[in-house]
Every structure is written in C-alpha cells, then in structure tokens.
Amino acid sequence: MTDSIQTAEIGEADAAPRPGKRDRLVAAASDLVYRQGVARTTLAEIAHAADVPLGNVYYYFKTKDDIVGAVVHAHGQRLESTLSELEHRHRSPKARLKALVGVLAERADETAQYGCPYGTLSSELAKRGDGSDPLATPLMQIPLDWAERQFRALGRRDAHDLAVELVASYQGSAVLASTLGQPELMIRQARRRQRWIEALPT
C-alpha cells in the first residue's frame, strides 16, 4: 500500500503542469497558422485545438489579429532564444553562422511540407492591406540583424549584404523544398551555405 502511494506521488510530481489557457491558445494558433495559414484559420478552430471554450478566447484576445500578434511574438522569442544559445555554444562568428544553418536544415522535412514557419507567416502578413503590416517585420529582421552582427564581427564591411544573402538563400531554398516536396534540397543547400561561410575571407 505504501509503495503504491509513493509511486502515485512520484508520478504526480513528475507530471508537467498543463499550460494555461492563454499559452495553449497561442500554441494552437501557431500550429494551425503554420499548417493552413492565417486567412484559413478561425478562432473557433484555435479554441478547439487548445481545448478552450470559444467564449474564453475573448478574455485573452479581442480579435484574430491580437492572437496572430501573440503568435509572431512567440516566434520572435523562440528565434531570439535559439540565436542566444548559439552565441553561448560557439565562440567564433563563423561557427555560429554555420550552426544556425545547421539548425534550419534540421527542420527540412517539416519545411518541405509546410514551408518555413517564419517566412510563410511573414509573407502572408505582408500581403495584407497595403503590404506594410508591421507584424510582418520582426521574424525577418531578427535573423537579419543577428547574422549582420556575426559578419561584422568577422571584420566584413559588407556585413549587411552578406546577412541578406544568407537569409534570402535560406528562404529561397525553403520555398523550393516546399514547392517541390524535396527536403533533401534544403539539406544540400545548407551544406553549400556552410562551405560558403567557411570560405569567406576575413
């Protein structure tokens, strides 16, 4: 009897607490928006996927744009966390840049199916209204700024152009991989980008 109680107590202690409703809504929205886009995703679908009553959604988010903004913010936080981790794990700028390319290549299968989560969302948001939706900016600006800092640390005066080239080449390969359904295309292009980074004169 005592063993059973102890086992149950251990199981309860090990069980991770369920995320709160707001976090579940943002996670569900992130997944649905990635798989089917902003326009096709409804608040009702988000609520159902998050296991939250539809009426409760409006307690946290007044409009669909509010929850899309939360998705962009969550993506931005994850991006910054990933880039910060690369800063800590790798001492040289070249190693950091190559590691970033490797991280992106690890998502090749998912990217070939749905596209880049940041690129597809940014592209869709940029098409809304007059094409100047401020929500579209951060997910491209964060990696651009980070890559530019790495190239600048290498002593490259063309750091900005190199950062644009790196991000653009990744986004281009993501579009091709998704369009053609070929994750191996992204992996090959990632290797080429890593060789390009390594060969850059400093």
Provide the H-helix boundaries in the chain.
2-14, 21-36, 43-50, 54-60, 64-89, 93-105, 108-114, 117-126, 138-153, 159-180, 183-199
Query: Where is the domain boundary, 62, 83, 106?
Result: 62
The pLDDT value recorded for residue 8 is 44
Count the domains in the chain: 2
115 and 169 co-located in one domain: yes
pLDDT 10s digits, 75-103: 999 999 999 999 999 999 999 999 999 99
18 and 81 co-located in one domain: no
Q: How far apart are CA 141 and CA 155, in angstroms?
A: 21
pLDDT 10s digits, 103-150: 999 999 999 999 999 999 999 998 876 555 677 789 999 999 999 999
**Shortest CA distance to 35 belongs to which of 145, 143, 110?**
110
Q: How far apart are CA 4 and CA 16, in angstroms?
A: 20
Residue 167 tokens, joined: 């991000």
The pLDDT value recorded for residue 179 is 96
Q: How far apart are CA 131 and CA 94, in angstroms?
A: 34
40 and 138 co-located in one domain: no
Q: How confident is the model at residue 15 (pLDDT cuts 50, 70, 90)?
A: low
The domain in which residue 18 lies consists of 1-62
CATH number assigned to the domain comprising residue 72: 1.10.357.10
144 and 185 co-located in one domain: yes
19 and 72 co-located in one domain: no
Q: How confident is the model at residue 19 (pLDDT cuts 50, 70, 90)?
A: confident
The pLDDT value recorded for residue 3 is 46
35 and 77 co-located in one domain: no
The pLDDT value recorded for residue 5 is 41
